[in-house]
A and B are shown apart, each in its own frame.
Chain A
Amino acid sequence: MRLIGDQVKKVAKLANLPLSEEEIVKSSEQLSKILDYVDQLSNVDIKNIEPIFNVVGSSNVMSDDTPRVSLSQDEALKNASQKKNGFFITKGVFEE
């Protein structure tokens, strides 16, 4: 599986990663190499094999509906780079 520059750019956009042109070039090279390696999985017979998503194998792990104490507003905002009047702030987004 080879990844070309445009595909890498598309993936970078999906991943919200600001990559430089140089990083794009390097990425397509390295990712292609890793994907080539990974392609050996097509040699494995996986017919009728169920996937495993969680090795614990438990189910219905739930908590009752009793509220606990939340963080204070100060604690919640403590690590934010920008905040105002109890809100987090980010640059304007208007889509959606």
Chain B
Amino acid sequence: MSKYEPVMGLEVHVELNTKSKMFCRCSADYFGEKPNTHTCPVCLGLPGALPYINEKAIEGCMKIGLALGCKVAEVSRFERKNYFYPDLAKGYQISQYRWPLCVRGEMEVVGLEGKRRIRINRAHQEEDTGKLSHIGGVTLIDFNRSGVPLVEIVTEPDFTDTAQVRDYAKKLQQLFRYLGVSNADMERGDMRLEANISVRPVGQKELPPYRVELKNINSFRFMVAAIEYEIKRQIEALERGEKLTQETRGWNEEKKETYLQRSKEEAHDYRYFPEPDLPELRISESEIQRIRESAPELPWKKETRFMSEYGLSESNAKILSESKEMAEFFESSVEDGRKLGVGPRQIANYIINQKPDISVKVAEKIKVMDVGVIGDIGELGRIAEEVISENPDLVESYKKGKVTVIQALVGAAMRKTGGKVDAGKVREILEGKLG
């Protein structure tokens, strides 16, 4: 056991999929468009231009905040975050600082040691910058993305292992898609992650006196790799007796290491102050109620309900609640099945194993096949033996501890019999034989 433990917080930026931008009505659908064709005096930061809030974006931010259990602030204000960079048209980003829209939420995540509650500090509204590309010593700037709405979600430093961080980020992505507020595509940059990492001796209660900010990470995999590298680097440094300081680091995927981007001395002084061009936000209780009521059932709620209501296993419930479309397909199939006498678990197994197109009438298919469903334990045992002997690789990795491959073995049994086995029973039998 290491004498040190990591203390981590996450900042997630998500680009909302509104039709128009945050503070002007230029089209926000900029991806793949010709450079500088989605701009106006406002998002180009021309002299004399003024911002005007997009109500749809504010609604999106509140949807996210409420889904994370945040309180919508009685009074919320925009502020200017002042710094110079060529992609920042106005020389300031309109953001929120002292008066964020949504505050104090939480999310449950699963890590190496089970479940843990992560406190959400805030979910606030801001705007994106333009996009730079560097070619031959010069920098090209495209302002099509400038002013596209962003929501920033900041946690408290509550993560203690990378599995939690990964689970959190995945869950957020799922949430954004469920709420329909963003495509949350990491590669396209719809969703961006920043992690704050420090380590402290096990048992120490206070937060470490420094933190390292990891920036510009554009995949879940890189994030986990970067964080793990960083934890190791910091522990080694502390063990050598070095003093760590506030800094910003990036991830070099080729070298598989983090590198210094900005030290404490170079840290920005953003000179936040209330944005004088925008009146404050005062969201009424009835508006909050309206948004709350319009929100879909959240994925983790759905997952629990699928288990209790339909008797699904945790893993099946998880798969079927992964996307809203999948969950809706499952539940409408269950509805069909009710009339045809086909049970939810059969439907769940069919969907998971056969991966049918959502236009398929699942319950009817099962009904047709059901004529010859194999229920005999001896028969099922024989099928299980065959599957085991035909898939030595899977069996081996199962025995090495990768228990999730059981799903693949169940799938093989399904295919072998044209879906005529009860997946749950086969699974039990397989587990018995392999266990």
Contact = CB atoms under 8 A, between A and B. Distances in A.
Q: Do chains A and B touch in the complex (CB under 8 A)?
A: yes
A73 B35 contact: yes
Contact of B86 (A54, A56, A93): A93
A61 B278 contact: yes
Interface in A46-96: 53-54, 56-68, 70-73, 76-77, 84-96
B19 A66 contact: yes
Interface string B270-309: 0100101011111100000000000000000000000000
A86 to B, nearest CB: 4
Interface stretch (B48-56, B313-321, B368-376): B48-56
Given A63-B53, A64-B55, A87 B44 contact: no
Interface stretch (B139-147, B322-330, B336-344, B401-409): B139-147
Contact of A70 (B39, B77, B139): B39
A89 to B, nearest CB: 5
A86 B261 CA distance: 30
A53 B261 contact: no
Contacts of B133: 87
Contacts of A54: 274, 276, 279-280
B274 A53 contact: yes
Contacts of A92: 134, 137-139
A66 to B, nearest CB: 6
A96 B40 CA distance: 26
Contacts of B84: 16
B36 A77 contact: yes
B269 interface: yes
A44 interface: no
B90 interface: no
A71 B40 contact: yes
A41 interface: no
Contacts, number: 128
A59 B274 CA distance: 14
A92 to B, nearest CB: 5
Nearest to A63: B52
A53 B77 contact: yes
B37 interface: yes
Given A53-B274, A88-B143, A73 B85 contact: no
A70 B132 CA distance: 20
B262 interface: yes
Given A61-B53, A62-B55, A73-B37, A67 B20 contact: yes
Given A71-B39, A77-B36, A90-B138, A14 B269 contact: yes
B141 A87 contact: yes
A58 B279 CA distance: 6
A68 to B, nearest CB: 4
Interface in B150-179: none
A89 B25 contact: no
Given A16-B84, A65-B19, A70-B26, A96 B140 contact: no
A90 B142 CA distance: 11
Contacts of B28: 67
B353 interface: no
A68 B20 contact: yes
Contacts of A66: 19-20, 25
A65 B36 contact: no
Given A90-B138, A90-B139, A65 B20 contact: yes
A76 B39 contact: yes
A88 B140 contact: yes
Nearest to A84: B140
B279 A61 contact: yes
Contacts of B142: 86-88
B26 A68 contact: yes
B218 interface: no
B37 A70 contact: yes
A66 B279 CA distance: 21
B18 interface: yes
A28 to B, nearest CB: 19
B37 A59 contact: no
A16 to B, nearest CB: 5
Interface in A13-38: 14, 16
16 contacts: A53-B280, A59-B280, A59-B281, A60-B282, A62-B52, A62-B55, A65-B57, A66-B19, A68-B40, A85-B140, A88-B142, A89-B141, A92-B137, A93-B132, A96-B85, A96-B262
Given A14-B269, A58-B279, A92-B137, 14 more contacts: A61-B52, A62-B55, A63-B54, A67-B20, A70-B37, A70-B38, A71-B41, A76-B37, A85-B35, A87-B36, A87-B133, A87-B140, A91-B138, A95-B261
Please name the 8 residue pairs, one residue from A and one from B, whose CB atoms are nearest each other, closest first.
A65-B56, A62-B55, A87-B140, A68-B25, A53-B274, A88-B141, A67-B27, A59-B282
